[in-house]
Each structure stands twice: as C-alpha cells, then as structure tokens.
Amino acid sequence: MAEASSASATAPVLEMTKVSCRYGPVQVLDNVSLTVSTGEIVTLIGANGAGKSTLLMSVFGIPRVASGSIQFAGTDITHLPTHHIPRLGLAVVPEGRRIFPGMTVLENMELGTMALRKRTSVAFEGLFELFPILWERRQQKAGTLSGGEQQMLAIARALAGQPKLLLLDEPSLGLAPLMVKKIFSLIQSIVQSGTTVFLVEQNANQALQLADRGYVLGSGRIRLEGKGQELLANPEVRQAYLGKLA
C-alpha cells in the first residue's frame, strides 16, 4: 500500500472539482470534490442511494455533470464523449459486472482490449497470472462461471485495456466472505502492479482497511474524508456504516 506521504506528493490522476449531477429535477451529486493520486487505493463509501454509482459513472459522462469539472491525468474530460474516455487509460467495472454470458471467458477478455490502439497478448499473460482460474476456464461460456469468477472476469476484462486508473463499483456485492477476501486481495495486487484503484463499496469495513484514503458520501455530498484507518476509527463512521456503537 502506498504511504500517504508519497501519495500526496504525486499529482492527482483523477480530480473531481465541485461536481454536481441531476436526474431531471433531482440533484443527486452536490458540489462533490475528490482526488485520487497515482498508486493509491481510494474508496468511496455511503448508504444505498447516496449517489456512489452516479459519481463513478459521471467520470464517463453518464450522466453528464451539470456543473463542476473532472480532470484525468492532466486532461479535462468533463465534456468528452464517453467512448473517448477508455482510450485515455480509464476503465470501469460497473455495478452488476455486465459480462457477456454467451461468450467465452477469453472472448470477454478480448473485448477489454478495445481501449488499446494496438492489440497485444502480453497483457493477457500478466492477467492470467493474477487470475489463474480464468486461464483454466478460458474456453468456458462466461455465464457458467460462479458469481465470484464473473466478478474476476469483469475486473480482468477492464485490466486488459491496461488502464492507469480502474474504477470498481461494489465488486464484493453478493459474494460469500471468502470470495470477498479474495477480491480485496486481488485489488491490492492490482495496485502493486501499477494500476491505481478507485473503489466504491458498501462493505465499508473491508474497503477502509484496504484503502489509503476514503470519502463518505451521504445524500450526494462528501460528508467525511480521511485516511482509511482514521475513518475506521471515526465514531460517526463506526455508527452509521460499520454498525458499531461509537
């Protein structure tokens, strides 16, 4: 895990400044500012409906921000067309994984390389080292994988585009504790191999243990921010998100 001091010394790879988003008359994000620096794991936690997925997907212009700006690796991406964004080195594993069940594991992973200008098989070798189970299952239809394996496939597919920054929306959702542990340990390996991670999670306890820094989103606003360990010890976080008495 990156030391907070070294992380703060590097330039932000993602910087959201005073971002507001609305669905029709409903304001879902209200003046949200956050940064993710190279080499960090940053987590965003918050209750159902807080606006976590909206915040994550607004980076890709879905929805478009109503006001504010989003910078990625020094480029203003606020108004870029959605399909341009992966090419810059940003990948997302959306809520619900969205793998193609009728295609094989390998075919799903090949789709992930579409973000690359030049196709390469080198990325796959590294990926199969990280996800040996996907190598074993490479010719199997993705729909026949277990939930945890499908989540791994969704992550591997995103990594096949060799992103600088990987955005993950609730990768532990619906998985058994052992698989959650595995996914979180994979996230750590992903960061160690050079991809920065922004992790949206409801599993606040494990996300904050893993993360260098975290943000708490409540009703579309950043309520708290700090180092993972600081937020874990924060009485408000303990009571509201960890189900513990302050």
Ligand X SMILES: Nc1ncnc2c1ncn2[C@@H]1O[C@H](COP(=O)(O)OP(=O)(O)OP(=O)(O)O)[C@@H](O)[C@H]1O
Q: Which residues bind ligand X (CB under 6 A)?
A: 23, 28, 46, 48-54, 95, 202
Closest Cα partner for 56 from 215, 236, 235, 241? 215
**Minimum distance of ligand X from residue 191's CB (angstroms):** 23
Residue 45 or 77: the one with the smaller Cβ distance to ligand X is 45
Take residue 151 and report the two structure tokens written for it.
């989540």
**Minimum distance of ligand X from residue 139's CB (angstroms):** 33
Q: Which distant-in-sequence residues (6+ apart) come within 8 Å of 132 by Cβ?
A: none
How many other β-carbons are positioned within 10 Å of the β-carbon of residue 74?
9
**Minimum distance of ligand X from residue 52's CB (angstroms):** 3
**Minimum distance of Mg ion from residue 102's CB (angstroms):** 26
Which option in Mg ion, ligand X, none does residue 174 bind, with CB closer than 5 to 8 A by kind? none
Residue 53 or 108: the one with the smaller Cβ distance to ligand X is 53
Take residue 179 and report the two structure tokens written for it.
């698989």
Which option in Mg ion, ligand X, none does residue 48 bind, with CB closer than 5 to 8 A by kind? ligand X
- Separation between Cα atoms, residue 57 and residue 169, nearest integer Å: 9
Task: Say whether 31 sits in a helix, a strand or coil.
Answer: strand
Q: Which distant-in-sequence residues (6+ apart) come within 8 Å of 25 by Cβ?
A: none
Peptide bond into 163 cis (omega under 30): no
Interface residues with Mg ion (CB under 5 A) are 52-53, 95
Residue 134 or 200: the one with the smaller Cβ distance to Mg ion is 200
Residue 23 or 178: the one with the smaller Cβ distance to ligand X is 23
